[in-house]
A and B are shown apart, each in its own frame.
Chain A
């Protein structure tokens, strides 16, 4: 399997490169921080955290037939573990089947990866509300001015969203005692 995937990845990334040079990213999902159609909010977010060489997805998918049957993936993306209500959901519940460079809402409206928070917010509405208010998630920048947001996917892998455990930094040293060397 691995033997197959590596060349496939290579081809995919080469294709992606070629596309980038050729047509300036045809689907042009709203550029970083671009205002969403229909919403006037301006949220400054960094580019989505794609795995290297994976985007645009149409690099491979444009030439592939669309198979909407729910199945375990074997030919590609078999490294993705879905631990996110996997009993009820599948790739195409979030990824757009006809143009893979986009996601889609339950209503069918397409949203770019830069605006994936709208997709997450369909189920996690109270998190989206808090995130907009600056209370859920990490903020950098200025407390009274320009705030930089992160997308949900920067901290939560959308396929396995539970926050990853971390290695803690060293514990403080116990207080020094007279005559005792640490």
Chain B
């Protein structure tokens, strides 16, 4: 039997499937590959602290080179804190002040337009009913007779379908309960958007644009730092503010005082007072997503 001179002749029937040389080369390649991934880029989530600060400094330099002078904070979660949010359905007047405060605080793209909060107008006769909800209402004055308003943003689920579905592990829940996204690790597959039952995740179909003068320079690496095209983003409870002890921007702007925020683990917090004394509900409870965003009736 004549063979062309090849390095690894096909094994004879009955002979071992792999030559020693071939095994050695594959093993070396695998080892090199493993070493390279271990030393190469890493998820921001698992980066050691010293390395993270370096990475954030690098990030700041990159942003500066592109004309966006921002500070990127790496503030970690406070121990003993689990953030919760409550929204008073009997007070919300549907004025959308929160939507635009969020846009400015979190450097959301103006064109194409991205809004992390969507205010749904609902019929009082039908109750909380997504099928007939109207997000595009535009009367001269709100609230309108016979209607109530349900602002919807990320519900910060404890059993988050988006986190479970992400194929790259680019989104996760932080120890303080905020579900965050690593914009450098997101591959833009949008599986999380399909998984989210609240429509709370938004995709950057084009390069996000923020007018230079309106850029909020106080950013957080898991929150409002400028995002590239092709990644998913969503509400982070204003991680850059709440980890400094401040209220989220939407809470402070609400003229009706309908938005409440605090630490679920602190028995004296506003949020615990609401949960313990008011009628509360979560959206789509039947899906067992266990939101940390509660709706309540304050009256």
Contacts and interface: CB of A to CB of B under 8 A. Distances in A.
A163 B100 CA distance: 21
A171 B100 CA distance: 10
A172 B136 CA distance: 6
Contacts of A176: 112, 205
B93 A163 contact: yes
A155 B95 CA distance: 15
A136 interface: yes
Contacts of B143: 165
B283 interface: no
A83 interface: no
Contacts of B100: 169
B270 A166 contact: no
A168 B138 contact: yes
Contact of A155 (B113, B142, B257, B260): B257
Contacts of B118: 172
B141 A165 contact: yes
Contacts of A145: 245
A170 interface: yes
Interface stretch (A30-38, A92-100, A108-116, A127-135): A127-135
Given A166-B93, A167-B141, A168-B96, A138 B298 contact: no
Given A130-B298, A155-B255, A176-B112, A143 B274 contact: no
A72 interface: no
A157 to B, nearest CB: 14
B298 A140 contact: no
A142 interface: yes
A171 B263 contact: no
A39 interface: no
B170 interface: no
Interface size class of B (residues with CB under 8 A): 35 or more
B273 A135 contact: yes
A139 interface: yes
Contact of B138 (A150, A165, A166, A171): A171
A125 B71 CA distance: 46
Contacts of A136: 257, 298
A172 B112 contact: no
B269 interface: yes
Nearest to B256: A163
Interface size class of A (residues with CB under 8 A): 20 to 34
A135 B140 CA distance: 29
B136 A171 contact: yes
Q: Which of A136, A145, A174 has the most CB of B within 10 A?
A: A136
Interface residues of A, dominant DSSP: loop
A145 B298 CA distance: 23
Nearest to B101: A169
A143 B138 contact: no
A169 B95 contact: yes
A142 B115 CA distance: 25
B279 to A, nearest CB: 13
A144 interface: yes
Contact of B247 (A142, A167, A174): A142
B84 to A, nearest CB: 10
Interface string B263-299: 1001001100110001000000000000000000010
Contact of A167 (B140, B260, B263): B140
Interface in B33-70: none
Interface string B135-150: 1111111110000000
Given A143-B262, A145-B245, A167-B141, A138 B254 contact: yes
A144 B141 CA distance: 35
Contacts of B235: none
A166 B141 contact: yes
Given A133-B270, A163-B256, A172 B298 contact: no
A149 to B, nearest CB: 10
A145 B95 CA distance: 28
Given A138-B254, A140-B251, 13 more contacts: A135-B260, A138-B252, A139-B257, A139-B260, A142-B245, A155-B255, A165-B142, A165-B143, A166-B141, A167-B142, A168-B94, A171-B136, A176-B112
Q: Nearest 6 A-B pairs (CB), nearest first?
A: A138-B257, A169-B96, A165-B141, A134-B270, A137-B257, A166-B95
